[in-house]
Chain A
Amino acid sequence: MLARTLLSNDPFTWMAREMDRLFETVAPALAPAAAVGVTGTTSIVPPMNLWDDDHNVYAEIEIPGARPEDVQVDVTGESLTIRAKRTISRPEGSNIIRSERISTCFERTVSLPDGVDTAGAEATLRDGVLRITIPKAEHSRPRRIEVKGALPHPS
């Protein structure tokens, strides 16, 4: 992983990661969109939405302009890691009047609820929105238990 190699010796990155981990552990609700960047890009991690229903866990981040080849998604039993880059290119000779969009390169890991089926995970990138769908393992899906009537008395 190029990004990881470049980042490993950067104390700020290390600190950002440690802070992220600390927040994840101590106060998940306060966990910031921690900054991890590489040279030439700005260190902003896009915010993430994570939710679930009876069948799947879902994660979503917005990366407008990204192509599937710019995004890498890894799922383990416990965590989801998204690595992505977005490069803003401007025609040569452009006079920049306003520049709010930034090139980013980030890596973000979040923990997943227990019992996901990593083999069935899928990721789609559509209209600048990356959505990851991870099925819940059979044993961790809610199950409705059929209530049987009393067994008829043996006659």
Chain B
Amino acid sequence: MSETNTAIQKTEPQRVTVRSAGSETRSEGAWTYMPQVDVLDNMDEVVIVADVPGTSLEHVDVTYERGLLTLRAAVPGRYPENTRFLRQEFGVGGYHRRFRVEDGIDASRIWAEYDSGVLTVHLPKQESAQRRRIPIKTS
């Protein structure tokens, strides 16, 4: 038998509450859109995944200040002026959405990634908020 052959969960993971805090539909005169998101509470981090098609890495801006996480993404216009639309079923504009994050996040370790129109923000939980596995030693 090894020294630590079993690991059981001794503590419940602390829930970190993340609530959508809406969006500004207009900023600086241009329409912006509220992106659709998933919010996942994983063992050691909270992850926010947002659909932001049409933007690119250099146009994405994520800020966190006193519990308020803000996602912004600009979308460069891609239709020439006076475009003759045969069908126009969606508009193109930037994205904006805010989230109210309750305690339990280690703000200094927040990081984000962008790929193929999807922005993923990782909010690592503070040590105390993480689910811990306690090794049980055999005697």
| B-binding residues in A (CB < 8 A) | 28, 31, 33, 46-53, 57, 62-67, 88, 90-91, 93-101, 110, 113, 125, 127-129
Contacts and interface: CB of A to CB of B under 8 A. Distances in A.
Contacts of B90: 46-49, 62
B116 A48 contact: no
Interface residues on B, range: 35 or more
Contacts, number: 110
Contacts of B39: 96-98
A50 B85 contact: yes
A9 B24 CA distance: 44
A73 B139 CA distance: 64
Q: Is the interface of A mostly helix, strand, loop or mixed?
A: loop
A129 B40 contact: no
Given A51-B85, A63-B117, 20 more contacts: A47-B90, A50-B87, A51-B84, A53-B80, A64-B52, A64-B117, A64-B118, A65-B51, A66-B116, A88-B38, A95-B15, A95-B42, A96-B39, A97-B39, A97-B40, A98-B38, A98-B39, A99-B38, A101-B36, A127-B117
17 contacts: A28-B87, A33-B89, A51-B88, A52-B86, A53-B80, A62-B117, A64-B116, A65-B117, A88-B38, A90-B38, A97-B18, A98-B18, A98-B39, A100-B36, A101-B51, A128-B116, A128-B118
Q: Which of A31, A51, A52 has the most CB of B within 10 A?
A: A51
B118 A65 contact: yes
A91 B53 contact: no
Contacts of A52: 84, 86
B86 to A, nearest CB: 4
Q: Which of B18, B41, B80 has the most CB of A within 10 A?
A: B41
B53 A110 contact: no
Contacts of A113: 86
Contacts of B86: 50-52, 57, 113
B85 A96 contact: no
A94 B38 CA distance: 11
Interface in B33-65: 36-43, 46-47, 49, 51-56
